[in-house]
Amino acid sequence: MQTKKRILVLQIILLCTLIGNAQYTREVNSVDLVLGGDFGYRTISGEISKEGVINSLNNRALYEAPKLNYRFGLNYNIGIRKLSARLGLRYANPGFAIAQRIEKINIEEDINDITKVYDSNGKRYKYKYQIIEVPIGIRYILINTICQPYFEIGLSPTIYHKTIIEEIIGLERTGIKYSWKEQINTMNYIGFASVGGNFNITENVSGFTQMIGRYQVNNLRKRETVEKLIGIGLEIGIRYFIE
């Protein structure tokens, strides 16, 4: 008799646990509105015995600097509250900044191979690669609290559209911009990892913020030097749960 009571108690505890977990891990879909920024730059490597590679490496080491990039877009998440998969769409302008002196930019040349010369007037150029990202990732919530910490990993296929170069003197934009298509792969791939937290606003709406790092998997350009984009930054957003 005592054994039957213990079994009954265990069954009740198990049932309550399952009900609680079902409430916590029920399937949900959600839509995110995301805005982010990061500091990005490019890495360059290759055979230093080749002149073009040496010029690119010297330019990168001496005159290039990170640039503040931005991106915005949407996510669609599907799964359970603790573990979810997401598919996104982003507009982004990753790139870098350089100090150089050029009387006129020739769009028939590869601007990245032109030897940079320090400009005492503080003239700089910001390179902005206009791309569309399609981030695909997995998010896992670590603890179910008011502020839910989580981590996320994934891969973003990207579509290159064009390059915009903006001229800046000191802190002022001159209004001069150059735009053209470079010899860059149309399709590229960016791996990413992030850590962040959700916080509830209403029953169906949450906010979130996350630190995110990005590293390009493939070679950006169709040439012997290996160029990859890297960035680290912050994203914030609003998530609406579709029950």
pLDDT reported for residue 17 = 42
Instruction: Give the domain range for residue 42.
Output: 28-242
Structural contact between residues 219 and 227, judged by C-beta atoms closer than 8 angstroms = yes
Count: domains in the chain? 1
State the chain's maximal CA–CA distance in angstroms.
Answer: 96
Q: What is the pLDDT along the chain (243 residues), one digit of tens a residue?
A: 555 555 555 555 444 443 344 344 444 788 999 999 999 988 888 776 666 677 777 777 777 888 899 999 999 998 766 788 999 999 999 988 887 655 556 655 666 655 555 555 667 788 899 999 999 999 998 887 777 889 999 999 999 999 998 888 776 777 778 888 888 899 999 999 999 988 888 888 889 999 999 999 999 987 777 889 999 999 999 999 886
* pTM summary value: 0.78
CA dihedral in degrees (144, 149, 150, 156; nearest 10)? 140
Q: What CATH code is carried by the domain that includes residue 176?
A: 2.40.160.20
Residue 236 lies in a domain: yes
What's the sign of the alpha-carbon dihedral 159, 182, 34, 41?
A: positive
Query: Cβ contacts of residue 185 below 8 Å, gap of 6+?
Result: 160, 218, 219, 220, 221, 222
The one-letter amino acid at 69: N
In a domain, 152, yes or no: yes
Report yes or no on 23 lying in a domain: no
Is the residue at 82 inside a domain?
yes
Q: For residue 7, tell me if it sits in a domain.
A: no
Residue 33 located in a structural domain: yes
Neighbours of 93 (CB within 10 A): 18
Query: Is residue 22, in this structure, part of any structural domain at all?
Result: no
Quick check: is 13 in a domain? no
DSSP character for 219? -
